[in-house]
A and B are shown apart, each in its own frame.
Chain A
Amino acid sequence: DIQMTQSPSSLSASVGDRVTITCRANQSISTFLNWYQQNPGKAPKLLIYAASSLQSGVPSRFSGSGSGTDFTLTISSLQPEDFATYYCQQSYSTLTWTFGHGTKVEVK
Chain B
Amino acid sequence: EVQVVESGGGLVQPGRSLRLSCAASGFTFDDYAMHWVRQAPGKGLEWVAGISWNSGSMAYVDSVKGRFTISRDNAKNSLYLQMNGLRAEDTALYYCVKEGPSEFFDYWGQGTLVTVSS
Chain A residues packing against B (C-beta within 8 Å) = 1, 32, 34, 36, 38, 43-46, 49-50, 55, 85, 87, 89, 91, 94-102
Contacts and interface: CB of A to CB of B under 8 A. Distances in A.
Contacts of A44: 45, 95, 105, 108
Contacts of A89: 45, 47, 104-105
Given A95-B59, A102-B44, 8 more contacts: A43-B109, A44-B95, A50-B102, A95-B35, A95-B52, A99-B45, A99-B46, A101-B44
Contacts of A95: 33, 35, 50-52, 57-59
Nearest to B57: A95
Interface in B32-56: 33, 35, 37, 44-47, 50-52
Interface string B66-86: 000000000000000000000
Interface in B90-118: 95, 100, 102-106, 108-111
Say whether chain A's binding surface is mostly helix, strand, loop, or mixed: loop
B103 A91 contact: yes
29 contacts: A1-B62, A32-B103, A34-B103, A34-B104, A34-B105, A38-B45, A43-B95, A43-B108, A43-B109, A43-B111, A44-B45, A44-B108, A46-B105, A50-B103, A50-B104, A89-B45, A91-B103, A95-B50, A95-B57, A96-B50, A97-B47, A97-B50, A97-B105, A99-B44, A99-B46, A99-B47, A100-B44, A101-B44, A102-B44
